[in-house]
Structures are given as C-alpha cells and as structure tokens.
Chain A
Amino acid sequence: MSDFLPSGIQLGYLVAASLFIVGLKQLGSPATARQGNVLAAIGMFIAIVGTLLEKQVVSYELITVGIIIGSIVGTIMAKTVAMTDMPQMVGLLNGFGGAASALVAVGEFWRYLSIPESPTPDATITILLGVLIGGITFTGSLVAFAKLQELLPGAPISFPLQQPFNALLAIALLAGSGYMVFHPEDVPVFLGLVAISNILGIMFVLPIGGGDMPVVVSLLNSYSGIAASVAGFILMNNMLIIAGALVGASGIILTQIMCKAMNRSISSVLFGAFGGGGGGAAAAGVAGGAIDKTVRSINLEESAMMLGYARSVVIIPGYGMAVAQAQHAVRELADGLEKMGVDVKYAIHPVAGRMPGHMNVLLAEANVPYPQLYDMDDINPQFEETDVALVIGANDVVNPAARHDTASPIYGMPILEVDKAKHTIVIKRGMSAGFSGVDNELFYKDKTMMLFGSAKDVVAKLVAEVKQL
C-alpha cells in the first residue's frame, strides 16, 4: 500500500493536469465552454484529493477549517456578484491566488527555521521568487480591485520621485536577495523582502489608468499562475508547476490580445504615463478645440423614429452601459426594433469595458444570443451599409482620430468605424472625455447626433417611444 500510494497520487496528478488542458481547450469554444469548466473543476478536485493523501500530510484539522471557510466565502461571492462587477471579482480572486502562493513560500521559509537543515541556495532563490511574484500579484490585484470598485480614483496616480523610489526598491530587493543566498535564515532581512515585494505590487498598478485595466487584469491573471508555478518549484510538485504554467500562458495571451486592441506595447502600459502626460496634452486640445466645434443634440422622439424606421441598426456598447446597468434596457430596445423589422447587431470592441470580454458577458446576462454580437473585424466593413450606429457609453473605441491624427495619444488603435454609418446616435451623460483623456471628434461630425442622459434612463425611454411608433 505504502509503495502503491505515491505512484497512485502521481497518476492522479497526471489525470488532473490532462483535465486542465482539455478543459482550457474546451473553454475556447462557446459550444463546449461550460463542459470545459466542469472538466477543469473535476481536475482540481482530483488534484486536491491526491494531495490530501500525500504521506507528509498527517493532520487534517487546520486543512478542514481552511477549506470550509474558503468554500463558504467563495460560494457566496460567486452567487452574489453582479455581472457588471466581474472585473473587480476576477481582480480580487487573482490577488487571493497570489497571496496563497506567497504564503506557501513564507511558510516554507519558516519550516526551514524550525529544522536543523538550512535551505540550499536553490531553495532560497525559489522561496524569494515565490514571495516576490506572489506579493506583487496580491497587492497589485488589491489596487486594481480598489480602482475598479472606485475606492481609488481611476486616473493614474503618481507622486514626485516615483521612478527613483521604485529603482531604490528594486535595488534593495536585489541586494537583500543576494544577502539571503549566503545567510539563508536571516529573519529580519526576509521580512524586509516580503514588505518590498508587497510595496512593489502597489507601485506597479497605482500609475496605471482605469482604461488600461483590461491589460492589467490579464497580466495579473498570468502572474497568479506563475506564482503558483513557483510554489511548485519550492515544494518540488509538478502539479503546481503545470497548472501554474497553463494559467500563466493563458494570461499572457489575453494580455497580448488586449495590447493589440489598444495598439500599445505592454511596456508602454506598464511604464508609460499615457493617462498622465498624454492626458495633459489632450486636455489642452479640448480647451482649444471645443469653442469652434458644435455638437448636434437630438431628442428622444426623433431618435426613436430614426431607429424604428431604419433598416439596420448596430449597437455599440461601452463601459457607460455597464456602469448604468443598462444591458437589460438595451436588449428591450433591440427587441422592440426587431419587431418593427429592423436588423439589429451589436459591435463589440475587444477592450470595451474593464476586462476582456466584459460586454459579451453583460449582454449574455441580458439574454442576447451571442451570434448577434460581432467582433471588430467582422463588423467594420458593414458600417457603410448601416443606417444608424447607436453608441451607448463607448468613447475612445469609436474615436476616428485614432485613424488619422498622429498627434493623438490613441493614434493607431483599431476602432469601430461608426463614423462610416449613415447616421450615428451617441448616448452619453455629458461631453467629458474618455478614459484616455482624449476629446472625441466623432461627436462633432455632421452625421452624429448626441442624446444626452444616463444610459439606462435614456434607453428605457427609447423603448417606450419605439413602442408608440
């Protein structure tokens, strides 16, 4: 039995790793995604049971307490979170994953303190790496959560001497780590490194603006996986290494997709003062340009008529729709228009909202079938045939300046070309700039009409107006 069990556990890990891979594969297609998620969950269950049987696990009281608390809290969170709050939720969960990995690293350090044997340089380095990546993931995710939850301002936060301060932290980290390799059981230095790792996480996300959150959340997702992998290196456990690497890879892919959709390099998101420097220039542009530009506003009745008697309408939802929780009203409006024979589609920009795929989830919640949602590349050629493009709470992703204005901070970003539609109606609360801080020239075009008000309010009234046509 004692010989059989270890290989049984290893085989269980192999099954679990295979289930993760198949599960992730199936998560890539709408038809199989739900099943893929279930397979991954089964894989996790097998992996946990296998670990509980490991011979070094001899007492179960603390484990049981931890699992029960985690299960209860996790279930409550999953059942109660609003779909509009998904970015915050994913951000927070990334942080928990990172914190767990960091705690494993710290715990392993303390285990070495209690035994005569000192950690080898390898062990010290992996422990420090676990503390660093786990710590950055933890506090970085908490800051991202606070920004998304609007506990902190969404704008980039910077302070004087920020770069020298960061450089100093990095140097202290390297020096401390080097010291630890030769003095592997120095507790004060170790605690100092734990603190620096956590401060670095805060410093990493603070200067990043709200509009760049899809990139940050994806990247932190990747980090949480890599942190788990490092915990696997610390404990020499292949299951952790494999699962962590899979998550690390998926996070990196999503990060790349998000960066491409914003025409930004990952380094410019992380280190560039896009919102800071660019915002200042753009604000000057607004002040100078707003005077001689005029916007056309339109009332509800006229909007309803334009929409109701159009042949084709494309709805472009943005973060504003999410904030106003207007997705159900939007769906009702689309229903009303379809009853009148209007062809209704939705155009989704890859970075609309605050996390990858945010709009898709909200519209799915409102029972919009996913084949009605079109990706940027599929819908852009169709705008010329579109009678009315209805922009609801989106801004930067429909700004034509991205195509031609080389001075604009968003120049080169792929956009939804709503200005090519025959008419454009923009529902917006006021004339404020988008998250990039850039004024939107779409609003001043002849074919564009502004319908001011809160998205939910306005769309609900439009539904009533359309019914009366």
Chain B
Amino acid sequence: MTNDQLPITNYQLPIVMAEGLIAGLVVFTLASFVGFEVINKVPPTLHTPLMSGSNAISGIAVLGAILISGQGSVTVTSILGTIAIALATINVVAGFLVTDRMLQMFKKKEVKA
C-alpha cells in the first residue's frame, strides 16, 4: 500500500507547484492587458513623467526584499534582502518625488511671477 502511494506523491508534487505558477501567469497576463489599455494613449508631453512614475512603481520589488530580509536571523539572504530594500527604496522615493517635481512644472497657462 505505502509502496504504491510513494511514487504517486512524488509524481504529483510538480503538478501542484505548476498550478501556483499558472495562477501567477493568469494574474500577470491580465495585469499586462490592463497596463496596455490604461497607458495606450499618452501625449508626448507626459512621456518622461510616465516613465519616471512607472519606474517608481517597479520599485515594488521592495516588497519582495522585505519578505526575504525580515525572516529573523541574520543570514546571507537577509543581508542581500537589506541591500535590495535600500536599492528599491531609492527607486520608489526618487521616482515619485522627481515625477512630482516635473509635473508641478507643467502649466497650461503662464504664471506671472
């Protein structure tokens, strides 16, 4: 009985993992379509701010970095995670701030100084 079950569980494990991967792919694909639809028509005036703003969003990697660096003991993983947190935070903070700095310069009418 046990001899029969063992190969089955070994065989099933990759399939179970693949389902997680597929769920991720579904989310990824749908989010990509949303991205294409939402951003499709952007006037050239806003190309640079769009780029720096979306750049800040790619700093979302900070979440991954937090997850691997806050697991308790100090290990190679937590050190690498901390470096990743610093880099991704630079990306987030500088990205949003510089985008705001640019956008506040865009004016429809002249402002008399």
Contacts and interface: CB of A to CB of B under 8 A. Distances in A.
10 contacts: A28-B46, A67-B85, A86-B98, A100-B87, A120-B14, A121-B14, A225-B58, A234-B64, A367-B107, A370-B108
Given A27-B46, A75-B97, A97 B69 contact: no
Interface string A37-55: 1101100100110011010
B105 A361 contact: yes
Contacts of B84: 66, 99-101, 103-104, 107
Interface in A69-110: 69-71, 73-75, 77-79, 81, 83, 86, 89-90, 93-94, 96-97, 99-101, 103-104, 106-108, 110
Interface residues of A, number: 117
Contacts of A57: 66-67, 70-71
Interface of A: 17, 20-21, 23-25, 27-31, 33-34, 36-38, 40-41, 44, 47-48, 51-52, 54, 56-60, 62-63, 65-67, 69-71, 73-75, 77-79, 81, 83, 86, 89-90, 93-94, 96-97, 99-101, 103-104, 106-108, 110-111, 114, 120-123, 126, 217-218, 221, 224-225, 227-229, 231-254, 257, 348, 350, 355-358, 360-361, 364-365, 367, 369-371, 373, 375
Interface of B: 13-14, 17-18, 20-21, 24, 27-29, 31-36, 38-72, 74-111
B69 A107 contact: yes
A232 B42 contact: no
A414 B91 CA distance: 34
B81 A107 contact: yes
Contacts of A20: 57
Contacts of A81: 98
B13 A120 contact: yes
A323 to B, nearest CB: 17
A221 B50 CA distance: 11
Given A37-B100, A44-B96, A225 B64 contact: no
B52 A86 contact: yes
Given A24-B35, A89-B94, A218 B80 contact: no
A134 to B, nearest CB: 8
B106 to A, nearest CB: 5
A369 B49 CA distance: 16
Nearest to B16: A120
A123 B89 contact: no
Main secondary structure of the interface of A (DSSP, over half): helix
A120 B17 contact: yes
Contact of B103 (A28, A33, A96, A103): A33
Contacts of A237: 63-64, 67
Contacts of A358: 48
A79 B51 contact: no
A245 B25 CA distance: 10
A70 B77 CA distance: 19
Contacts of A58: 70-72
Contacts of A52: 66, 70
Contacts of A65: 82, 86
Residue among B32, B35, B102, B110 with the highest chain A CB neighbour number at 10 A: B35
A348 B47 CA distance: 12
A355 B50 CA distance: 12
A365 B105 CA distance: 6
Nearest to A104: B64
Contact of A93 (B31, B44, B52): B52
B44 A375 contact: yes
Given A357-B48, A361-B48, A93 B90 contact: yes
A228 B60 contact: yes
